[in-house]
Chains A and B, each alone.
Chain A
Amino acid sequence: MANLKKLIIEPLRKTNPVTVLVLGICSCLAVTAQLKPALVMGLSVTVVTALSNFIISLLRKGIPNRIRIIVQLVVVATLVILIDQFLKAFAYDVSKQLSVYVGLIITNCIIMGRLEAFALSHGPGESFLDGLGNGLGYSLILVIVAFFRELFGSGTLLGYQVIPQSFYEAGYQNNGLMILPPMALIVVGVIIWIQRTRNPEMQENNQN
């Protein structure tokens, strides 16, 4: 039981796919200018990692080794297309904001990474939890980055004005740089920095 819990908790912290494994950075830059698309993207990636891990784990004994990557891609692509279609039907605004990035979930290294490293060698239940954990770990970073970018870049959170009008009258200005992609990288860098400072065992030894 403790082991299963670890599968979900660990990727949020010590094996976080974004800050520790440094995977999925591209989409992290692209969809974090505002909180809402970041939440939807995080949710979508979580669903895809969890379900694809589960399905591949179920199939793992029957998948011919020589076409294993192709089979993985087909499963992931199917899930992504399904999510894209659902977003277009029920969350049109968000799907427009995410535009090509939903389709690009297919290329998110976290998913293929977990399939290869975990799902092919573990049972469906464990694999599902592992996918869920890694998806949530990814979402967590996305939401943190989006929180800061939207707050300082647009003065809003989830589209609602947070920074009061009186600040603007006093000369406060939104930081346009926060909206541009490089700022996401810097925020991710700061998160990694804080994480490593607090967990000294994660620091590499570079003195050679």
Chain B
Amino acid sequence: MKKDVNSNRYIFLYATILIIIVAVLLTVTALWLQPFQDRNKKNEKRISILTAAGIPDVNAKNAPLLFEKHCTGSFLLDESGNISESGTLPLFVIDRQISVIPMQGNGLWGPIWGYLAIAADGKTILGANFDHKSETPGLGGEITTEKFKGQFSGKQILENGNLVPIQFDAITGATKTSNGVKEMIDNTLEKYSAYLTRIAERGE
């Protein structure tokens, strides 16, 4: 008996079997590759944190080792700058003195994020690292370049115990992205201000 390839019964059966095969295949692959993908994401985060804190030559291979060596603590802070289990503000301490805080904001086309490393005195920026999802290459995308990131080193964020708004050279042609970076840094510092003023006072 020859099958009728265009009967409804055959079409439904065909589609069902095809979908089941595909679904099983994709599930198995996703589960198998999950650990590798998680490791990559974790590494990327470590690289960003270490680079912001000024540790040279971090790459995907040596990141886990360097992170182990340099990161002396990671905490959650609450609004008033105390370490607490229920806090919402992550903080990474590098070499016992540098505070690295994560930032999130909006660029022109999508999210931008980064890490800000603050020196032991609590008021000097040691370094910054930015990344973006979909800023324009050559314009907003320039926030990931050394030239842009480098200018943040040495900037003062506290004056007489008060936060000062960050100032930096924006990127020509990427006003929205530059504003996004400024907003992101100011907002983040605002949230961490209690913690920062405390370490600044302790430093004096």
Contacts and interface: CB of A to CB of B under 8 A. Distances in A.
Interface of A: 33, 62-67, 70-71, 74, 78, 81-82, 85-86, 88-90, 92-93, 99, 153, 176, 179-180
Given A62-B5, A180-B138, 14 more contacts: A33-B137, A64-B5, A64-B11, A65-B5, A66-B6, A67-B14, A67-B15, A71-B18, A78-B22, A85-B37, A88-B37, A92-B40, A99-B133, A179-B137
Contact of B134 (A89, A99, A176): A99
CB-based closest 9 A-B pairs: A89-B36, A92-B40, A179-B138, A89-B33, A64-B11, A88-B37, A78-B22, A89-B37, A85-B33
A81 B44 CA distance: 22
B19 interface: yes
B11 A86 contact: no
Contacts of A176: 138
A118 B133 CA distance: 38
7 contacts: A71-B14, A71-B18, A85-B37, A88-B36, A89-B33, A99-B133, A99-B134
Given A85-B30, A88-B33, A88-B40, A74 B19 contact: yes
Contacts of B33: 85-86, 88-89
A74 B138 CA distance: 36
Contacts of B29: 82, 85
B10 interface: yes
Contact of B14 (A33, A62, A82): A62
A107 B125 CA distance: 45
For chain B, the bracket of interface size reads 20 to 34
Contacts of A33: 137
B55 interface: no
A64 B37 contact: no
B164 interface: no
B35 to A, nearest CB: 8
Contacts of A179: 137-138
Interface in B79-127: none
A66 B11 contact: yes
